[in-house]
């Protein structure tokens, strides 16, 4: 009998967790032969950890609660869940109830048919116009610069076979995108489609800074385009400079026009200096990621694990 692990990263979701568990009990769990729910508290500052443990007490044989030592980000929280889960396959689930729990049995059935990766792809989304534009731009960039396998509407929820989980655990990358790691790994992949709903309770913590970091991590971790772009910018500037030099010399020797235009020259110098600083910043991003990886620090640190084990709860820390 196959077992499915449901991994839920939790960050300031105390208002949604009870509803989430009820939704899973109604739409997903009755259709699964065996299951476990792994909730990972990613350093929440509210009562999420308490609510998680209250849910665990209702279903102690199937619910595990994992607490990270601080906020490491959703990427790390999901990695922690993959390291703890014991299922033959595992599916990620957001805690904000914006993805229908009925997706889980559908993805599980696709896995039973032999697919190693099952992506839940958004067919539509209830978001503001600005959020839709930003999300659309991100996925277009990923499709253009990183991989053509990324669905145009994006995916945050996916099911992985145990062998794919073991591969993902070996990556041990911090400044990266877990979704892109899954796509990069390959394996037989299927897609199911859903309509993403709006958030009814709580406040989203997906800030602009986090979105920008995800975009930077996605491109810098999987594409050499920024470096190649800097090379071509250098070539373009050299060509433009050569044309300008030739024009100045021709005017000087043919019509005797003296070199003028110090204000334009200053503008060009400032613009060029800005481009150079931007290029140095891009190189610095690559160097920083190399330094961060060389430190070999764990992508997450587990403070506590609470689960039912032969009638006892256990608490332990691990990295």
**Pairwise pLDDT comparison (195 vs 167), residue with the higher score:** 167
φ, ψ of residue 188 to 5 degrees: the values are -70, 120
Confidence of residue 127 (pLDDT cuts 50, 70, 90): low
Total domain count for the chain?
Answer: 2
| Among candidate residues 109, 115, 43, 117, the one with its CA nearest the CA of residue 76 | 43
Residue 125 and residue 13 share a domain: yes
**Contact yes or no for 55/18 (Cβ under 8 A):** yes
pLDDT 10s digits, 131-179 = 667 666 777 777 777 767 777 777 778 899 998 888 888 876 666 777 7
Structure tokens at 226: 């920024």
Residue 303 and residue 290 share a domain: no
The model scores a pTM over 0.85? no
Residue 127 and residue 40 share a domain: yes
Whole-angstrom Cα distance, residue 70 to residue 4? 27
Q: Please indicate, yes or no, if residue 14 is contained in any of the structural domains.
A: yes
**Contact yes or no for 44/119 (Cβ under 8 A):** no
Q: Please indicate, yes or no, if residue 37 is contained in any of the structural domains.
A: yes
Confidence of residue 316 (pLDDT cuts 50, 70, 90): very low
Q: Which has the minimum average pLDDT: 42-51, 77-86, 216-225? A: 216-225
Q: What is the pLDDT of residue 58?
A: 85
**Pairwise pLDDT comparison (175 vs 103), residue with the higher score:** 103
Residue 198 and residue 88 share a domain: yes
Residue 140 and residue 289 share a domain: no
pLDDT 10s digits, 8-49 = 988 888 888 888 888 888 888 888 888 899 999 988 888 888
Residue 154 and residue 194 share a domain: yes
Kindly tell me if the per-residue pLDDT of 308 is higher than 80.
no
Name, in order, each residue with C-beta under 8 angstroms of 67's C-beta and a sequence gap of 6 or more.
40, 41, 49, 302, 303, 304, 305, 306
Q: Kindly report the number of other CB atoms within 10 A of residue 1's CB atom.
A: 6
Q: What is the pLDDT of residue 277?
A: 78
What's the average model confidence in pLDDT over 62-89?
87
Kindly tell me if the per-residue pLDDT of 310 is higher than 50.
no
Whole-angstrom Cα distance, residue 206 to residue 185? 26
How many Cα atoms are found within 13 Å in the side-chain-facing hemisphere of 41? 26
Structural domain that includes position 236: 225-294
Residue 231 and residue 151 share a domain: no
Q: Kindly report the number of other CB atoms within 10 A of residue 15's CB atom.
A: 17
Q: What is the pLDDT of residue 142?
A: 73
Q: What is the pLDDT of residue 222?
A: 66
Residue 16 and residue 133 share a domain: yes
Q: What is the pLDDT of residue 314?
A: 47
Whole-angstrom Cα distance, residue 51 to residue 54? 5
| Among candidate residues 163, 160, 149, the one with its CA nearest the CA of residue 111 | 160
Residue 153 and residue 251 share a domain: no
Kindly tell me if the per-residue pLDDT of 121 is higher than 60.
yes
With 0-12 / 13-18 / 19 or more C-beta atoms within 10 angstroms meaning exposed / middle / buried, residue 313 is middle
Kindly tell me if the per-residue pLDDT of 190 is higher than 60.
yes
Residue 242 and residue 304 share a domain: no
Whole-angstrom Cα distance, residue 220 to residue 290? 11
Q: Please indicate, yes or no, if residue 216 is contained in any of the structural domains.
A: no
Average pLDDT, the chain: 77
pLDDT 10s digits, 245-286 = 777 777 777 776 665 666 667 667 777 777 787 778 777 777
Whole-angstrom Cα distance, residue 116 to residue 35? 18
- Best-predicted range by mean pLDDT among 74-83, 116-125, 172-181, 214-223? 74-83
Element (DSSP H or E) covering residue 37 = strand 35-41
Rounded to 5 degrees, what angle do the CA atoms 205, 81, 54 make?
75
Q: Please indicate, yes or no, if residue 171 is contained in any of the structural domains.
A: yes
| Among candidate residues 66, 82, 59, the one with its CA nearest the CA of residue 6 | 82
Q: What is the pLDDT of residue 261?
A: 63
């Amino acid at each position: 009998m196959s077992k499915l692990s449901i991994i839920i990263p939790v960050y300031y979701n105390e208002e949604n967790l009870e509803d989430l568990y009820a939704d899973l009990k109604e739409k997903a769990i009755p259709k699964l032969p065996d299951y476990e729910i792994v909730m990972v508290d990613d350093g929440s500052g509210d009562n999420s950890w308490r609510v998680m443990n209250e849910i665990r007490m209702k279903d102690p044989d199937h619910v595990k609660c994992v607490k990270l030592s601080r906020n490491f980000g959703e990427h790390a929280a999901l990695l922690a869940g993959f390291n703890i889960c014991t299922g033959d396959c595992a599916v990620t689930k957001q805690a904000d109830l914006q993805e229908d729990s009925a997706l889980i049995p559908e993805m599980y059935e696709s896995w039973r048919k032999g697919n190693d990766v099952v992506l839940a792809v958004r067919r539509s989304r209830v978001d503001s116009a600005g959020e839709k534009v930003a999300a659309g731009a991100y996925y277009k960039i990923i499709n253009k610069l990183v991989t053509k396998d990324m669905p145009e509407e994006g995916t945050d929820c996916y099911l992985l076979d145990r062998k794919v989980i073991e591969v993902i655990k070996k990556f041990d990358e911090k400044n990266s995108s877990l979704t892109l790691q899954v796509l990069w790994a390959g394996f037989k992949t299927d897609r199911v489609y859903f309509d993403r709903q709006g958030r009814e309770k709580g406040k989203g913590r997906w800030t602009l800074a986090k979105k920008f970091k995800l975009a930077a991590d996605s491109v810098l971790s999987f594409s050499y385009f920024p470096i190649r772009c800097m090379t071509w910018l250098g070539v373009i500037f050299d060509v433009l400079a050569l044309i300008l030099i030739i024009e100045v010399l021709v005017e000087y020797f043919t019509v005797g026009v003296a070199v003028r235009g110090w204000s334009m020259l200053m503008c060009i110098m400032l613009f060029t200096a800005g481009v150079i600083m931007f290029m140095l910043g891009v190189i610095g991003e690559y160097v920083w990621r190399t330094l961060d990886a060389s430190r070999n620090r764990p992508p997450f640190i587990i403070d506590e694990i609470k689960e039912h084990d032969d009638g006892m709860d256990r608490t332990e820390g691990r990295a």
